[in-house]
Amino acid sequence: MRAVLSVGANLDDAAGAVEGVLRHFAPEAVAVSPVYDTAPWGVTDQPDFANAVVIIDTPDTPEQLLDRCQALENAAGRVRELRWGPRTLDVDIVQCAAPDGSEIRSATDRLSLPHPHAHERAFVLVPWLAADPDGVLAGVPVATLVDGLPSADVAGVRLQEGGRP
């Protein structure tokens, strides 16, 4: 299965937490974005985030991958107190595709695929576009989705100094 993961953090060593996830998935990675500093989304009265996208090929099912992502969050001390609030680590599964390229869909209490809000979040789409200029979300090119976002949202996603090339 191929999966697109969005990684973000804005507490403690946010960049280090993001880099740790990228290292964790490195053996499975087919593409990795640079790390970006991004304005918070939803709850805006909080520090900026470090965000990146990693695209992996994994033998995991979507549910097994979710377990891995949540284990990484838990190891980083993630506490779920405020929706869209500050966090030590957030690892979201944005999209999964079967080996034949067909999109995997899920609509359970535990996992929604593709991610229901990814199409409106510059902090997901801009790094994804950098990692895979030909990326497609729910049948729409990621480049088209980025072009449709408010320019202020896109401008709020800034390449982190020292971020991956």
80 assigned to active site:
no
Q: What is the DSSP letter of 71?
A: H
87 assigned to active site:
yes
Give the Cα separation of 68 and 64 in Å (integer): 6
37 assigned to active site:
no
DSSP secondary structure string for all residues of 13-75: SHHHHHHHHHHHHGGGEEEEPPPEEE---SS-SSPPEEEEEEEEE-SS-HHHHHHHHHHHHHH
Q: Which of 37, 92, 121, 153 is catalytic?
A: 92
Q: Which of 2, 67, 68, 78 is catalytic?
A: 78
Q: Which of 37, 90, 121, 153 is catalytic?
A: 90
92 assigned to active site:
yes
Active site residues: 78, 87, 90, 92
